[in-house]
Amino acid sequence: MKLTMSGEVFSHAISLKEALRITKEFGIQNFELWPKNCSSDSADVHPMLYRNRDVATAGMLLQNNAIRLACVAFGGAFFPEVTANANDYVEELIRAIEVAAKLGAPYVNHYCCNIAPQFELDFSILDRYYSR
């Protein structure tokens, strides 16, 4: 069994560099990357999207700290403004997949909150976002 540190809780308070230092200090060798773990100089940045994020530096920090990227997290569906347009949402999900591929993560952890069928099974919701 391998323990993975989630970067989500760190992303609200400290830099990725500091989060990786703490991860390493606890002897954890795997990390779940969230968009907010990646720095941005852009005014056009969303807390749950990788658009306009410096993922290359994040990858370098992971490599320099000998920490394996277990997965890239995508939580765009927590925000209705992100899920309002299915095509835009899919583009952002694809971007998260591309980030995972670029950084060598074997998985994308897709949190599908507002686009999940919820309490009544409605396959049209799934078709709208995943039939592409």
- Mean pLDDT score across all residues of the chain: 90
Give the pair of three-digit tokens for residue 40. Answer: 């941005």
Higher pLDDT, 122 or 31: 31
3-state secondary structure at position 71? strand
Q: Any idea which architecture 4-130 has in CATH? A: Alpha-Beta Barrel (3.20)
Q: What is the pTM of this model?
A: 0.85
Q: 109 phi and psi, to 5 degrees? A: -90, 105
Residue 119: what pLDDT?
Answer: 60
| 65-101-104 Cα angle (round to 5) | 30
Q: Where are the domains of the chain?
A: 4-130
* pLDDT per position as a tens digit, 71-119: 999 988 888 888 888 899 899 999 999 999 999 999 999 988 777 666 6
Read out DSSP for 78-102? GSHHHHSSHHHHHHHHHHHHHHHHH
